[in-house]
Amino acid sequence: MTIREHWEKVYKTNLPDKVGWYKPHLETSLKWIKALSLDKDANIIDVGGGTSTLVDDLLADGYRSITVLDLSQTALALTKRRLRERAASVIWLEGDITSVDLPTCHYDLWHDRAVFHFLTDPEQRQRYVENLLKALKPAGHLIIATFSLEAPPKCSGLRVQRYSADKLERILGSEFLLKKKEKELHITPGGVKQMYLYCHFQRTA
């Protein structure tokens, strides 16, 4: 099964509020985004947004330029259906973040919750970082949440890479400055404890 087929199957066979990473609202992401005091026209991308309600909450907060990218067409369709007419004001991109062609120097904020940690191969991670460097504006922000070192080794049945902030810093390289980090305990709808690591980086150049 390809990685795309894996995610299609996940979203075709589970209700959005029954998947392991489900949270009614991504409170930490929302709090951190609010703290950035971005212009409401800032270009925001939610990488691997899936069926998360972050886009709903950002629209409700008045953000007008939101892109949701995901590998799964089904996840995007479910999210669009939930948003109804508000979906028309969002840019939807179906693609793999390690290969998709993103606009150059475009985004003010790149948000990723529980996507980067699935890239267990260094080459995939390198392609992700290359896309990030291509698409994020200088001084742009990265809010990234991955499994932390104490989290289980798998998520959605797939092996994950677990991170400390130091390790993320090393992978992202010298163009990113760590501004904030925080652990967040997530309990899946099935009762499994997963410790996430949230980091806010700012691009320096």
Ligand X SMILES: C[S@@+](CC[C@H](N)C(=O)[O-])C[C@H]1O[C@@H](n2cnc3c(N)ncnc32)[C@H](O)[C@@H]1O
What is the DSSP secondary-structure string of 145-193? Answer: EEEBTTS-SEETTEE---B-HHHHHHHH-TTEEEEEEEEEEEE-TT--E
Entry field: residues in the chain: 205
Minimum CB distance to ligand X smaller for 97 or for 136: 97
* Closest to ligand X by CB, 30 or 38: 30
Which of 42, 67, 90, 113 is the binder for ligand X (CB under 6 A)?
A: 113
Residue 132: name the closest of 103, 161, 153 by CA: 103
Question: Token pair for residue 128?
Answer: 């992700």
Among 43, 67, 98, 131, binds ligand X (CB under 6 A): 98
Using CB under 6 A, which of 70, 107, 194, 200 touches ligand X? Answer: 70
* Nearest distance from C-beta of residue 88 to ligand X, angstroms: 21
> Which CB, 99 or 204, lies closer to ligand X?
99
Q: Give dist(CA 103, CA 174) in Å, integer.
A: 22
Q: Does 114 bind ligand X (CB under 6 A)?
A: yes
Judged by CB under 6 A, the residue of 43, 52, 131, 148 near ligand X is 52
- Single residue of 56, 73, 78, 96 touching ligand X by CB under 6 A: 96
